[in-house]
Amino acid sequence: MYVWLGIDVDCQLQEIKEKAIRIEEQLKFSNSNFTLPLHISLKMSFSIDNSVFDEVVADMDDFFNQLKGFTIEIEQLQCLDNICWIKMKQNLLLNDIHDRLNALLKDKYGVPLHEYDCDYLFHTTLFMDSDVEKVTHAYNLVKDVDIPQSLAANRFVIGTSVSGKLGTFSIYKLYLK
């Protein structure tokens, strides 16, 4: 079982999401980034044995229930090679949450750190494709959409997938703050 942990910011980014969905369809992207709500991942998705899934969820219940809502500042809309995302400003609280999740999952369940978890950049992905020109074109079509300067982090989620492949995750549990 693959698990993903994040902050649901979908309802706060509706204007850019609606335009991005139309662009994604128009340009015929091979994979959609809109099978989950727009979100900020709290760490890279990870694989666990099905036998410990309920225990991991119980630990995430404890973890997320202790959090209070907070604000995340947006840095910029950015296109880097094959990905277009909304990059978040450095945030000490987000870094702390990320580090504590990694430590808990590594120490208790043996979940190794993914290389991206070592220097994690918090973001919300709009487009990702192996065709860099397609992603650049999509970025140019969406770059003038107004996005908020900050987002409320008050909807934490657990997602799951059998395969761990892009487009196969679904929301398992939602925590409202």
Give the pLDDT confidence of 102-122 residue by residue, as tens digits.
Answer: 999 999 999 999 999 999 999
Q: Identify which has the larger pLDDT, 139 or 31.
A: 139
Q: pTM for the whole thing?
A: 0.94
Report the percentage of the chain scoring pLDDT > 90: 94
Report the percentage of the chain scoring pLDDT > 70: 100
Q: Copy the structure tokens of residue 37.
A: 């709500």
Q: Rounded CA gap, 145 and 147, in Å? A: 6
Average pLDDT over residues 5-27: 97
Residue keyed to tokens 């450095």: 90
Average pLDDT over residues 3-31: 96
The total of other beta-carbon atoms located within 10 Å of residue 108's CB is 12
**Sorting pLDDT into bands at 50, 70 and 90, what band is 30?**
confident
Instruction: Annotate 100-112 with DSSP letters as a single string.
Output: HHHHHHHHHH--P
Q: Is the pLDDT of residue 31 over 90?
A: no
